[in-house]
Amino acid sequence: MFNTTVVGNVVKKSGLRIVSTDRGDTPVIDIRVAARNGGKKVHFVKCVVWGNDAKAVDQYLEVGRTVAVEGLPKAQTWTDPQGNQQIRLGDAHVGRIGTVHPGHRDE
């Protein structure tokens, strides 16, 4: 298991929903973040945010805002037409999320 960090702009935000878990009803929201990997190629990462963070995202986070998201990507597997097992990283289940202010630098 490993965490990954994605920094990019929020391009889509779903509505807040409540899901039933073994811990009771939990708020959850999905966001899609567009991030560059140092080049011109843009990657779109679906991020799933849970609990109080989901409520804050729903209330305060706007599409277009730059965010830093840290989470555990979910692996997806399938078999291609040639019969080879394939794997790719899918949705990131967010552990931490925060906004990034333009021009901010760590000193």
Tens digit of each residue's pLDDT, the chain (107 residues): 577 888 999 999 999 999 998 889 999 999 999 988 777 888 888 889 999 999 999 999 999 999 998 888 877 787 889 988 776 666 777 878 888 876 544 43
Task: Please tell me the predicted confidence (pLDDT) of residue 102.
Answer: 64
Task: Please tell me the predicted confidence (pLDDT) of residue 107.
Answer: 38
Q: Which of 100, 17, 35 is nearest to 73 (CA)?
A: 35
Task: Please tell me the predicted confidence (pLDDT) of residue 91.
Answer: 74
Six-digit token string for 34: 């567009």
CA distances from 23 to 33, 49, 86, 106 (A): 28, 16, 33, 37
Task: Please tell me the predicted confidence (pLDDT) of residue 27.
Answer: 95
Contact 49, 96 (CB under 8 A): no
Task: Please tell me the predicted confidence (pLDDT) of residue 36.
Answer: 84
The pTM is what?
0.75
Task: Please tell me the predicted confidence (pLDDT) of residue 105.
Answer: 45
Task: Please tell me the predicted confidence (pLDDT) of residue 104.
Answer: 47
